[in-house]
Amino acid sequence: MIIDGPMEPTLFDQPSAQPPAIPTVTEFTGKVKALIEDHFYDVMVEGEVSQPKISRNGHMYFTLKDEGAQLPCVIWRSTLNRLDLQLEQGQQIIAGGDLQVYAPHGRYQLIVKSVQQAGLGTLQLAFERLKKKLEEEGLFDPAHKQSLPELPKTVGVVTSATGAAFQDIRSTLERRWPLLTVKLHHASVQGTSAAAEIASAIRWFDQHQNVDVLIIGRGGGSLEDLWPFNEEAVARAVYECSIPIVSAVGHETDFSISDFVADVRAATPTQAATAIVPDINEMRMFVEDQQRRVEEAVRSQIRRKKELVEYYGKTYALQQVREKAAQLGRKRIDLDHRLKARTSELLYQKRSRYQELHSRLEQLNPKAPLEKGFTRILQDDSWIRSSSQFNPEKEFEIEWKDGKVKSPG
C-alpha cells in the first residue's frame, strides 16, 4: 500500500528519550548555597537575642528571633574581639552580616559582622530634638542657674530607695559632714511611670521648702534605662524648682537633659554628694594651717619691728641726739613694754580664735561622745540615731572609743 504525504510516527517509531540527571544531596545543597549566599550578602536583621553562648573556640552562637521565626547566628572569635560586646538573653538588636549555608548540617545561618542596639537611633533622635527645643526656650541658660549653699544643713534626694545610688550618696554625706540631715523622696528611675514620679518628687520638695539643696539621679545604665531623665516633664520640673538642684545621672560619659537644665551637673551620685558639702577632716586641717600662718605672721611682725628699732638706733641723726637718750630712756622702755603687751594681746586673740574654732569642730565630731564613755550603734555601717532606724532582725555593732563589738550573726 502506497500512502502519499508524511505519516505520524507511531509509539514504536519514536526515538528513545534519556532520563533527566538527578543531583546528589551535595550537588543540590551546593546550588541552594550559591543561590542564597549570592542574594543575601551584607544584610541587616532586627530581632531578640535567644540563648547566647560562647564555644570552646571563642565563637559566639545565638538565635535571633521574633514572634514568627528564628534565625541561627554566629559571631566568629576575631569579630567578637573587635566588637567587644556581650549579648544578653532577650536583648533587642540589629545584626548585620552575610547569610551562609552550612552544607554538612543542611542549614543556613547569619555570619554576624556588626551589632547595634535596636531603637537607639530613635531615642537619640528624640533626645537631640528635645535638647534643641529646650535650649531655644532658654532652659539651659546659665543666667537661670543658682549657686549651691556653702554649708547646707539639710539635703533632699530624689531617686530609688532600693538603688545603689542612694546608698552611695548617703554614705558619702555621712562621712564628709556627719551632722547633715538627708531626706529621701522615693521615685522610680526607669520604666514608663518613672518620669512622672521624678517630676512629682521635685515639686514636692519645692512646695515644702524643707531642704537647702536637692540631688536627683541614678546609677549608670543603657540609654533606655536613663531615659526618664530625658523626659520633658522632668526637665521642666527641674527648671521651675526654686531649690538648687544637682543632677547626677549615670556615669562620667552619660549626659541627660536634666544635666543641662540643673544648676550643677555631677558625673556620678557620689560626686554629687562631694560637691554639696566639705570634708570635715579637711576643715580641721585648714583651721590648724591658719593657726600656724597667724602665729608666723605675728612673729614676723615682731622681727620687723625689732630690726626697725635697731636700724634707727644706728642712724647719724639719732647719734646726734644721744645726749637726749637718757631723757628718752624711760619712754623707750615704755615703748618696749607696749610693743610686748600688744604682741601678747595679738597672740592671745589669735589663740582664742583658734581655740574657739577648734572647739566648734570638736562639737561637730560624731565620735566626741565616745571619749566621754558613751557608745553608739551601727547597722550597715550607718549610725543608728533613733529607735525607728533600728532593725532588730539585722546584725548590728556597738562602738566604744576603743573598739567595736558585733552582735551574733
Would you say 182 and 126 are in contact if contact means Cβ atoms under 8 Å apart?
no
Q: Which of 274, 164, 137, 165 has the alpha carbon at shortest distance from 213? A: 274
How far from the centroid of its chain's Cα atoms is residue 317's Cα? Answer: 73
Point out the domain boundary residue: 229, 252, 276: 276
Residues 260 and 332 in one domain: no
What is the pLDDT, as a whole number, of residue 1? 33
pTM of the model: 0.49
The verdict on 349 and 381 lying in the same domain is no
- Could you tell me where the DSSP H helices lie in 249-387? 257-261, 269-276, 280-313, 316-320, 325-364, 368-371
Q: Name the burial class of residue 403, with classes exposed (0-12), middle (13-18) and buried (19+) by CB atoms within 10 angstroms of its CB.
A: exposed
136 in a structural domain: no
Same domain, yes or no: 52 and 86? yes
In a domain, 12, yes or no: no
Do the domain assignments include residue 305?
yes
Whether residue 288 is found in the same domain as residue 339: yes
**384-397 b/e with 16+ CB inside 10 Å = b?**
beeeeeeeeeeeeb
CB atoms < 10 A from the CB of 197, how many? 19
Say yes or no: 310 and 347 in one domain: yes
Considering the domain boundaries, does residue 124 fall inside one? no
Residue 195, helix vs strand vs coil: helix
Residue from 47, 57, 52 nearest 81 by CA: 57
Polymer length of the chain = 409
Q: Are residues 287 and 268 in the same domain?
A: no
Evaluate whether residue 137 is within a structural domain.
Answer: no
Provide the domain limits for residue 85: 26-118
Give the per-residue pLDDT at 44: 93
Q: What percent of the chain has pLDDT over 90?
A: 46
**Are 154 and 244 part of one and the same domain?**
yes
Report pLDDT digits (tens) over 120-150: 666 777 888 899 999 999 999 999 999 999 9
Q: Could you give the angle at the alpha carbon of 38 between the alpha carbons of 33 and 39, nearest 5°?
A: 105
Return phi, psi of residue 14, to 5°. -70, 145
Question: Hunting for cell 547597722 — which residue is that?
Answer: 379
Confidence at residue 56, expressed as pLDDT on a 0 to 100 scale = 94
* Predicted pLDDT of residue 238: 98
* Together in a domain, 96 and 190: no
Task: For residues 266 and 153, state if they share a domain.
Answer: yes
C-alpha torsion sign, points 367, 369, 373, 378: negative
**Which of these, 357, 214, 189, lies nearest to 288 by C-alpha position?**
357
Give 212-249 pLDDT, tens digit per residue: 999 999 998 877 889 999 999 999 999 999 999 999 99
Structure confidence by residue, pLDDT tens digits, 76-92: 999 998 887 788 888 88
- My answer on whether 263 and 172 are in the same domain is yes
264 and 286 part of one domain: no
Residue at 267 is within a domain: yes
Cell triple for 266: 555631677
In the chain, the number of structural domains is: 4
Same domain, 291 and 246: no
Question: For residues 24 and 9, is the Cβ–Cβ distance under 8 A?
Answer: no
pLDDT at 3: 34
Is residue 303 in some structural domain?
yes
Instruction: Give pLDDT, residue 7.
Output: 42
> What is the CATH number for 208?
3.40.50.2300
CATH number of the domain bearing residue 31: 2.40.50.140
Name the stretches of the chain with pLDDT < 50. 1-13
Evaluate whether residue 37 is within a structural domain: yes
Backbone angles phi, psi at 182, to 5 degrees: -115, 125
Strand-pairing partners, residue 73, are 62, 110
